Structure 1
Amino acid sequence: MTEMWQDEPDFEPKSKTQLKNEMHELQQLGVKLVDMGQGALDKIPMAPELRDAVMLARRINRKKEGFRRQLQLIGKMMRHTDVEPIREALDVLENKHKQQVKQHHHLEQLRDDIIAQGDDVINQVVAEHPALERQKLRQLSRQANKEKLADKPPKSSRELFQYLKGELE
C-alpha cells in the first residue's frame, strides 16, 4: 500500500493527531447543530440521516453517556458528507448581525455621498436602482444641505436615510 503513495510525490498521509483534530472539529460542528433552534436548523442543508441524528441528540439528556455517543455518531456521519454547505449556512446565520451592520454603513455612506455630491451621485444611484425616485432624492438632498447650512437638526438627512433603507432593503 505504501508503494502506491510513493508514486505521488506530493502525497503525505495525515498523522493520527490531524485525523483526531478533524474528528473533534466535526463533532463541535455537530454540537452547534444540536444547540441551534428549530427554525435555524431548518435553514441548514444536510442529509436526512444526519438531520435525524441531530434531532435524536436534541432529545437525549445531555448528562448521559448516550448523548456523547450520539455526538460521536454525528461526527462520523459528517466525515462521509460534504460539510462545506453546512459551514457556509452556519456562517451566514452567525454573521447575520455583521451583514446588517455592513448594510447600514453602506446606506449611511450612500446618503452622505448624495448630500455632498448631489446630482452626479443621484444619477448613478437611480441607474443602479430604478425603483428610486430621482425627484425625491434631489429634494431631500437640497433640504439636507439647507439644514446643514442653517445649523438645524438633520431631519431631511434622516428622511433620506429612511427612504434609501426602505427602498433598497
Structure 2
Amino acid sequence: MRGRDEDSGEFLGPSRSQQRRSALDVLALGQQLVALSPGQLDKLPIPDGLRPHIAETQRITSPIARKRQLAFLAKQMRREDDDTLDAIRDALDAGGEASRRETAILHRAEAWRERLLAEGDSALAELLTDHPDADRQRLRQLIRNAGEERAKNKPPHSYRELFRELRDLFEGSGMENRESGIEDGE
C-alpha cells in the first residue's frame, strides 16, 4: 500500500487532516500579506517569486476573482520551504511588537510634552535626571516658545518640535529608561 510502512502498517506521511490544516494556515498567512501596505511588505523577508503574486492579489477587487487569486497565492507559498514561511510569520509577529513599542514611545513623548508645558522647570529637571544626554537649553527654549505660541494662538511650530525632540530622545534611550519613564509620564 502506498503511504504505509510495510512492516508496521503505520502511515508514513502527515494525515489528510494535517495537510488541510497546514494549507489553511498558509492561506491565512497569504491573507495577512495581502492586507499589508507595500512599505510593510518591503520589511518582510518575502521571496522575490511571491511578490508579484501578492501585488496581483491586492490589485483585484472582485470578491470571487480575489478569492481565486488568493488560493493561487497560497499554492505558490506552499511551494516555499517551511523555514521561509516561518521567517515571514516571525517577522509579522515582530512587526506587531515593534508597532506597539513605537506607539508607547509616541504616547510617552506626548505625555511628557504636556507635563513639561504644565509644570515647567521641575518636570524638565526630572526628565534630565532620567536622560542626562538631553540638550537642556534646546528643551527649555522649545518649552518657552510652545507656551508663548499657545498664549498668542499662533501656529504650534515649537509645540511640534518639542514633541519630535522628546520622541527622538526616547527612541535613542535604552530599554530600561523607556520602561521606567512610561509610568513616570502618565
TM-score range, shorter chain: 0.5 to 0.7
Deviation of the 1:68 alpha carbon: 0.8
Match of 2:85 in 1: 83
Match of 2:125 in 1: 156
Query: What is the distance in 1 between the residues matched to 2:29 and 2:173?
Result: 34
Deviation of the 1:71 alpha carbon: 0.7
Query: What is the distance in 1 between the residues matched to 2:132 and 2:10?
Result: 57
Query: What is the distance in 2 between the residues matched to 1:32 and 1:69?
Result: 16
Deviation of the 1:163 alpha carbon: 4.1
Match of 2:16 in 1: 16
Range with bigger deviation, 9-18 or 78-87:
9-18
**Equivalent residues of 2:30, 2:73 under 8 A apart:** yes
Aligned residue type for 1:168? S
Residues 86-125 of structure 1 correspond to what in structure 2 (within 5 A)? 86-100=88-102
SS in 1 for 2:44: coil
SS in 2 for 1:83: helix
Range with bigger deviation, 40-49 or 27-36:
40-49
Query: What is the distance in 1 between the residues matched to 2:94 and 2:104?
Result: 13
Match of 1:26 in 2: 26
Same amino acid, percent of matched pairs: 23
User: Are residues 8 and 94 of structure 1, via their aligned partners in 2, closer, same or farther at CA, if it must alter by over 3 Å?
Assistant: farther
Query: What is the distance in 2 between the residues matched to 1:2 and 1:57?
Result: 35
**Residue-by-residue CA offset, 1:55-108 (whole Å, 9 max, x unaligned):** 000110142x2211111111111111120121121112122134458989xxxx
**TM-score, normalised by the number of residues in structure 2:** 0.53
Structure 2 residue runs without a partner (length 5+): 107-120, 134-169, 175-186
Q: Give the aligned CA root-mean-square deviation in angstroms.
A: 3.3
Match of 2:57 in 1: 57
Match of 2:70 in 1: 71
Q: Which segments of structure 1 move beyond 6 Å, counting only runs of 4 or more?
A: 7-11, 101-104
Query: What is the distance in 1 between the residues matched to 2:19 and 2:61?
Result: 28
